[in-house]
Amino acid sequence: MAQEEGQQHPLSIYFWIWGLLFVVSFGSYMVDYLNLQGALRYTLILVFMFVKAGFIVAIFMHMKWERLALKLAILVPPVAICVLIGLMALEGKYTFLTRIEFFGDSTFVPEEGHH
């Protein structure tokens, strides 16, 4: 077995990734702090999210050094989630339009003293 000794890697790689996660998290927070809006906001949120998730799985969880069979077994099934996201986004939009059609625009009034 290739991994009889387990996953031993130099400490430096963890420190690098650790630092990088801090920088990227700071970036995500800045997206909100600087109040970016529109396509730029959503693109940056998603990019930072996937970069962070990728480094955590690849380095901290050692997926980068696992054999391809394990990588495929764990990383391929979540792709099915994309299908559900697509279906439910369509469903959500349909429900929204149906509500507007039958109930009209929202009449919600935020209470005073709240945001």
Partner 1 sequence: MSEAAMTNTGDVLPEGGRGVVSDFSSDKQAFHVPWGKAMMWIFLLSDTFIFSCFLISYMTVRISTSDPWPVPAEVFALSFGGDPIPLVLIAIMTFILITSSGTMAMAVNMGYRKDRIKTFWLMVATAALGASFVGMQAFEWTKLIVDEGVRPWGNPMGAAQFGSSFFMITGFHGMHVSAGVIYLLVIAFRVKRGFYEKRGGNYEIVEITGLYWHFVDLVWVFIFAVFYLW
- Residues at the contact surface with partner 1, assessed by CB under 8 A: 1-3, 5-9, 11, 14-15, 17-18, 21-22, 25, 28-29, 31-33, 35, 41-42, 45-46, 48-49, 52-53, 56-57, 59-62, 66-67, 69-70, 73-74, 77-78, 81, 84-85, 88-89, 91-93, 95-96, 99-100, 103, 105-106, 108, 110-111, 114-115
Kindly state the smallest distance separating residue 31's Cβ from partner 1, in Å.
Answer: 6
User: What three-state secondary structure class fits 18?
Assistant: helix
CB closer to partner 1, 31 vs 64: 31
Structure-block tokens of residue 110: 């935020």
Minimum Å distance from CB 64 to partner 1? 13
Encode burial over 76-86: b for 16+ CB neighbours within 10 A, e otherwise: eeeeeeeeeee
Cα 70 to its chain centre, rounded Å, is 22
88 by DSSP, 3-state: which? helix
In the complex with partner 1, the residue whose CB is nearer, 2 or 39, is 2
Q: Are 48 and 27 in contact (CB under 8 A)?
A: yes
Question: Cβ 39 to partner 1, closest distance in Å?
Answer: 13
